[in-house]
Structure 1
Amino acid sequence: MAELVELLAAGRSHAGWESVSITRSIEHAAGGFSLVVSERWPGVEAPRQVRAGDACELTVGGQTVITGFVDEAESDLDAASHLISVAGRDKVADLIDCGAVRKSGQWRGLRIEQIAAELAAPFDIRVSADVDTGKALTSFALQEGESVFEAISRAARIRALLLVSDGKGGLLITRAGETRVATVLEMGVNLLSCRVKLDLKDRFSSYLLKGQAPGTDWLSGASAAQVAAKAADPGVRRYRPLVITADAPDIAATLQQRAQWEANSRAARSLTVTGKVQGWRHAGGLWAPNTRVKVVSEEQHVSDELLVTGVEFSLAEGGGSTTTLTMTRADAFTLLPLKAPDAQGAFWTLPAKGEAK
């Protein structure tokens, strides 16, 4: 049985959707939705009054998954039917779409969440962090023409942090999740399909971060002007170095974090495992991004715990409800050095013959 999907907009709850697509991802901070239905549904006499620009809240089985605004509202009328299409995104989308504006454009001695909160305040978007964001930044300045989200993302990269929507209209500063889903996904059992893609074009054998440390009474001259850090990706077997200039002055220890983050996040984005399952829930609740799940597809040499980076709930007339999970390596977006690939060149391993999965 399909989950009840309700859109609260213009002071009224709208349900009975015939077609549903809901996406949430740690790669794209603003979740989105697209809904289609006939203009009226049983039990409601008035036609739907959903307009582009309306504030809205989308729930699945009573659980809020998106809080934001309606971007599009379309009416499609012909002799046989009258369909209403509605699409929208999380409130965080305004940070992605809009430019960063501040009189001075520069901060000194503030933590990343403080900078983010100040930039997000004009949009009435709260900022929270569920991890330690590190020491205050010595200095941070806006770049000409960048969006609010781009500015906050630059600051977040300095401390190897993720920016995601909290689903309730706020921006959450976090890192790769540790929550594990008890359900094992296995091809031919509960995994309807599985696609594995490995793309190495944006990965490099080494990452050299160069920057400047803030000068003090005890640190000056060349020692302050030149700091560097290096991280390696053992999965790239030929010589492919990448040199990156740090976004802001900082200490060498932070540059080392950033170098390792660059290696890990690029390795993560190179591997995409896409799986489809029936329904929108596992044994513990709704599927959600930034969780971990064991995936087994022996023909594709996959038998490992993966990080869920994106979730798409779909409902199509006659097709039932399905969830498409986008996944990558479980060590993605961490600050731990990357492990080397196995002899097959993969970052997962099949169990040995006779070994339990």
Structure 2
Amino acid sequence: MTVAGQPTRRIRLSIDGRNFDQFVRADLAHDLSELSASFDLTCRDEFRAAQSWDYATPVDGTGPLDWGKRCEIFVDGELWLIGHVDEVMPEASNGQSFTVISGRDLTGDLVDCPPDPRGKHEYRDLTLTEFAEKLCKPFSIKVRAETDVLPTFDKMTVEAGETVLSAIAKYAKQRGVLVTTDRVGTLVITRSGQERAADDIAFPGNVTRSRGSFSARERFSDYFVKGQGEKNGGKRGKTPALDATAEPLDTAPTKPAPATDDPEDLPEGAGTLVMGHARDPEVTRWRPFIAMARTKATAFDAQRQAEWEMRTRRGKGDKEDYTYPGYSAAGALWKPNTLARVTDTYANIDRDMLLAGVRLTYGERGERTALRMTGPEAYDLLPENDRRAAKGSGKSAGKSSSAKGGKLDGTARPL
């Protein structure tokens, strides 16, 4: 354990074979709401100090810290991130000096940049993984799929000015998968909460601070998604293959009834318009929400997106932040996209929640990990069993399994 107020050596930054391991401040963050993990490290730049003050310790001619450098970050000897230094901020006054280094993992370029402008803008008969590989290849970023991404798409397009992340994300939503990073050079296509966290969370207990928010501001009673289907007589899409857990649809999704029985409120003819509809039974007053499908959609696609809007907004309405003393639990570093049993008597929570964000910090208060918890459905693009069955979300306490380790059952079940 590092003594608060003294530089920590548990975090090490390596740039061009040059190691920095005495940071007076550190902030390492990985959150599912952002594709890229990020870092902010504060240290003494010996080269800048040596060329500024006669009394400073001489150093070799490696030069000062600078932006654009490829770097590696280790926590307790474990590789935590491979990325680039985006920004260097030196600051000095008489008697003291320090430099702040910030950056992101390699996938940061996918957030900022479009696909190769000289490349293709339309692709056919590709899976989501194949599409992502083509867009990521110029950036030397690998792609790994940890879940089924079939069937292939008949047509995939890259819009003008669209970033790589945006182009991939719009098709990931249709396949019900989550796009994230492994922090060391690979874009990961996966599902949310397939593993257990390093430990359960208890307050009072192993965390020192609890702060919650249970909000209905971004929740609605009815979710509608409209999309443009194929014109009558036009090209028919391929019939998607069913996986082992899929169930055939007997009929197209039932068209929802209007809010009133006024004849002027009756829906117009279908034409080529498709619409999905989902309800949140916990919102009892009329609060409609509408979204447009970003790509050509079938009735099934629109229905699935409507259900996704309902589930994820419901999940994100439950938020809880905890402070854990230290970086690891049970010998493992905390990592996002894992499920933890949360028992919080003050917030009235007793159920599994998704660890959506991890922030490792060091400063005057020593080593701490901020854990951002949210409803387990917050990043479920497809139904994952009935993770809402236990409603311990600040209203009432629920029950759920607290077993640790191993993969969770990934069998999907329709809502």
Q: TM-score, normalised by structure 2?
A: 0.76
Q: Tell me the secondary structure at the aligned position of residue 131 of structure 2.
A: helix
Unaligned runs of 5+ in 1: 352-357
Structure-1 separation of matches of 2:347 and 2:353 = 14
Structure-2 separation of matches of 1:95 and 1:79 = 41
Comparing 32-41 with 330-339, which one deviates more in the overlay?
330-339
Give 1:120 deviation, angstroms: 1.6
Matched, 1:13 2:61: no
Contact 2:72 2:83 in 1 (8 A): yes
Structure-1 separation of matches of 2:58 and 2:148 = 48
Give 1:19 deviation, angstroms: 0.9
Q: Tell me the secondary structure at the aligned position of residue 130 of structure 2.
A: helix
Contact 1:99 1:146 in 2 (8 A): yes
Pairing of 1:101-120 with structure 2 (within 5 A): 101=117, 103-120=119-136
Matched, 1:96 2:111: yes
Q: What is aligned with 1:329?
A: 375
Comparing 30-39 with 272-281, which one deviates more in the overlay?
30-39
Structure-2 separation of matches of 1:144 and 1:348 = 47
Specify whether residues 237 and 274 from structure 1 end up closer, same or farther in structure 2 by C-alpha distance, changes over 3 A only. Answer: same
Pairing of 1:206-245 with structure 2 (within 5 A): 206-214=222-230, 215-216=234-235, 225-245=272-292
Matched, 1:63 2:69: no
Give 1:287 deviation, angstroms: 0.3
Matched, 1:169 2:185: yes
Structure-1 separation of matches of 2:237 and 2:159 = 30
Give 1:347 deviation, angstroms: 6.2
Match of 1:4 among 10, 20, 25: 10
Structure-1 separation of matches of 2:39 and 2:186 = 17
Structure-2 separation of matches of 1:20 and 1:122 = 31
Q: What is aligned with 1:355?
A: none
Structure-1 separation of matches of 2:282 and 2:34 = 26
- Structure 2 letter corresponding to 1:122: P
Give 1:18 deviation, angstroms: 1.4
- Structure 2 letter corresponding to 1:259: A
For residues 177-208 of structure 1, the C-alpha deviation after alignment (integer angstroms, 9 at most, x for no partner) is 22113623211221111111123222221222
Comparing 307-316 with 188-197, which one deviates more in the overlay?
188-197
Matched, 1:141 2:157: yes
Give 1:228 deviation, angstroms: 3.0
Give 1:133 deviation, angstroms: 1.3
Q: What is aligned with 2:147?
A: 131
Q: Tell me the secondary structure at the aligned position of residue 18 of structure 1.
A: strand
Contact 2:35 2:181 in 1 (8 A): yes
Specify whether residues 141 and 323 from structure 1 end up closer, same or farther in structure 2 by C-alpha distance, changes over 3 A only. Answer: same
Match of 1:85 among 100, 107, 111: 100
Matched, 1:288 2:335: yes
Structure-1 separation of matches of 2:229 and 2:223 = 19
Q: Tell me the secondary structure at the aligned position of residue 151 of structure 2.
A: coil
- Structure 1 letter corresponding to 2:371: L
Matched, 1:30 2:30: no
Q: What is aligned with 1:301?
A: 348
Unaligned runs of 5+ in 2: 3-8, 48-56, 239-268, 400-415
Higher Cα radius of gyration: 2
- Structure 2 letter corresponding to 1:248: T
- Structure 2 letter corresponding to 1:59: F
RMSD, aligned CA: 2.7
Structure-2 separation of matches of 1:306 and 1:341 = 10
Matched, 1:260 2:260: no
Contact 1:64 1:167 in 2 (8 A): no
Structure-2 separation of matches of 1:204 and 1:276 = 31
Q: What is aligned with 1:54?
A: 69
Structure-2 separation of matches of 1:82 and 1:177 = 43
Q: What is aligned with 1:122?
A: 138
Give 1:348 deviation, angstroms: 5.3
Q: Tell me the secondary structure at the aligned position of residue 109 of structure 2.
A: helix
Specify whether residues 12 and 232 from structure 1 end up closer, same or farther in structure 2 by C-alpha distance, changes over 3 A only. Answer: same
Specify whether residues 339 and 269 from structure 1 end up closer, same or farther in structure 2 by C-alpha distance, changes over 3 A only. Answer: closer
- Structure 2 letter corresponding to 1:268: G
Contact 1:196 1:272 in 2 (8 A): yes
Q: What is aligned with 1:349?
A: 397
Q: Tell me the secondary structure at the aligned position of residue 268 of structure 1.
A: helix
Structure-1 separation of matches of 2:102 and 2:129 = 30
Contact 2:123 2:156 in 1 (8 A): yes
Give 1:103 deviation, angstroms: 4.6
Comparing 64-73 with 306-315, which one deviates more in the overlay?
64-73
Give 1:250 deviation, angstroms: 3.7
Specify whether residues 97 and 33 from structure 1 end up closer, same or farther in structure 2 by C-alpha distance, changes over 3 A only. Answer: same
Q: Tell me the secondary structure at the aligned position of residue 320 of structure 2.
A: strand
Structure-2 separation of matches of 1:170 and 1:350 = 36
Contact 2:347 2:394 in 1 (8 A): no
Structure-1 separation of matches of 2:187 and 2:289 = 31
Contact 2:13 2:21 in 1 (8 A): yes
Contact 1:24 1:30 in 2 (8 A): yes
Structure-2 separation of matches of 1:272 and 1:234 = 20
For residues 137-156 of structure 1, the C-alpha deviation after alignment (integer angstroms, 9 at most, x for no partner) is 12222233222211111111
Structure-1 separation of matches of 2:103 and 2:317 = 29
Q: Tell me the secondary structure at the aligned position of residue 133 of structure 1.
A: coil
Specify whether residues 60 and 105 from structure 1 end up closer, same or farther in structure 2 by C-alpha distance, changes over 3 A only. Answer: same
Q: Tell me the secondary structure at the aligned position of residue 296 of structure 1.
A: strand
Q: Tell me the secondary structure at the aligned position of residue 231 of structure 1.
A: strand
